[in-house]
Amino acid sequence: MPEMSDLYGLPVTGADAATLQGIDDFVHGFISFQTKAANVLKAAEAAPDCPLVNAYAAILYMLLEAPVAPQLAAPFLKAAETAAPNATPREQATVNAARLFHDGKIPELIALCEETIRRFPRDMVMLKLGQYHTFNIGDFPAMLRIATRAFPASDDIAYAHGMLAFGYEECHLLDQAEAAARCAMKLRHDEPWAHHALAHIYLTRGDVAGGTAFLESVADTWRDLNSFMRSHNWWHLALFYISQGRHDDVLRAYDENVWGLAKDYSQDQVGAVSLLARLDFAGIDVGDRWADVVAHVAQRGADTVSPFLTLQYLYALGRTDDRAALGVMMDAITARAADTTQYDHRAWAEVALPAAQGIVAHADGNWSQAARLMGIALPRLAECGGSHAQRDLFDQIHLDALMANGDMARAQQVLEMRRTYDPDGVPLNRMLAEVYTRNGLPELAAQAQARTAGHSFD
């Protein structure tokens, strides 16, 4: 069989033309969020002696973020490991990465990804995989460090610049993040992860109008992406619509581009949950939209694959009067927090568990308990995963508990801090007007109310 190389010039062992196409579809599809990444499954089934294509198939299944994922990945992982002795060192590292992912040995996997990128800086799959896992444990400097390992060898790859941009952004280095994202877009205007990094940058800088205009200008390029990237970039645009009081636009974004693309997928579910919650907190009537989301989340049972995901599932289950599913999920969280054998034990026991208890208290209308427990969890919530924009859901649950509990002094502190990145936000300033009124500060209440002027309420 002739020697083959993938689309970034890295050698591939044991592949014919069809297998190589499946590998290239996965590599490019994974980093560009295109549905063609799934083509690797058929290619792997047809090429059991190719270690790389089977390792990629196993990794794809593990990215489902579901309890069934290891079972689905296992046959491909077995084929990859059987063929691995004849593979290159880079391919063997990828097979090892698939095994570590399957076995839940995430710290070892992260170290392997970083070392592989150091040796093979054009390996975009290992770069993306390393960033995915460092992001999920809240180690943002490591997320940035892994991305820097790809340069200068990957200067010509737009997606490498997009990943570098998000690493900078999550480290709050906004100027560097913007420069990397703009570089990515010069190479490929449609680079969705660069769009995503810029969405974060606009949000953090409080430039709601600029963020809205930018995202709307590139939204047409997300139409054919996988459900996560299409729905998540629209989720970011929806946050700007909420701030501007554009009720019809945000509901249309939810209905057409956030919920309904892949209702069984973890990221689509939590995107819908967190957006609906934000709409509720903003006083926007969501009608019966919760019912369908909760019905799909309830099917997860005792899913504790990720604390970040599980906490949002739990919040959704608290939105129904039928508390059986919520009880199942809460029992699973309690058991997971008690498992001292896992690498992320402290995140579950010291952060996710009190946050979960706070979410249940919020669902029960026990406002003081909800505020207390969420207050315990919030300072360390990054250890559970998610970006600061995503984790803001839990800040809003905490704020809602403070407001409902009548704790106007603490609510004032929280709201004014939030106003640094949402200065003219309609829901925020409406809450501030209420808080200042109830604190006996009518002039400040009037100023807050005035900041909502000029916004049309749909």
Question: Average pLDDT for residues 1-24, to the nearest whole number?
Answer: 92
Quick: pLDDT tens for 319-336. Answer: 988 789 999 999 999 999
Residue 403 has pLDDT above 70, yes or no: yes
**Which H, E and C letters describe the chain, residue by residue?**
CCCEECCCCCEECCCCHHHHHHHHHHHHHHHHCEHHHHHHHHHHHHCCCCHHHHHHHHHHHHCCCCCCHHHHHHHHHHHHHHHHHHCCHHHHHHHHHHHHHHHCCHHHHHHHHHHHHHHCCCCHHHHHHHHHHHHHCCCHHHHHHHHHCCCCCCCCCHHHHHHHHHHHHHCCCHHHHHHHHHHHHHHCCCCHHHHHHHHHHHHHHCCHHHHHHHHHHHHHHHCCECHHHHHHHHHHHHHHHHHHCCHHHHHHHHHHHHCCCCCCCHHHHHHHHHHHHHHHHCCCCCCCHHHHHHHHHHCCCCCCCCHHHHHHHHHHHCCCCCCHHHHHHHHHHHHHHHCCCCCCHHHHHHHHHHHHHHHHHHHCCCHHHHHHHHHHHHHHHHHHCCCHHHHHHHHHHHHHHHHHCCCHHHHHHHHHHHCCCCCCCHHHHHHHHHHHHHCCCHHHHHHHHHCCCCCCCC
pTM metric for this prediction: 0.95
- In which band, very low, low, confident or very high, does the pLDDT at 2 lie, cut at 50, 70 and 90? low
- In which band, very low, low, confident or very high, does the pLDDT at 425 lie, cut at 50, 70 and 90? very high
Quick: pLDDT tens for 195-248. Answer: 999 999 999 999 999 999 999 999 999 999 999 999 999 999 999 999 999 999
Question: Average pLDDT for residues 36-46, to the nearest whole number?
Answer: 98
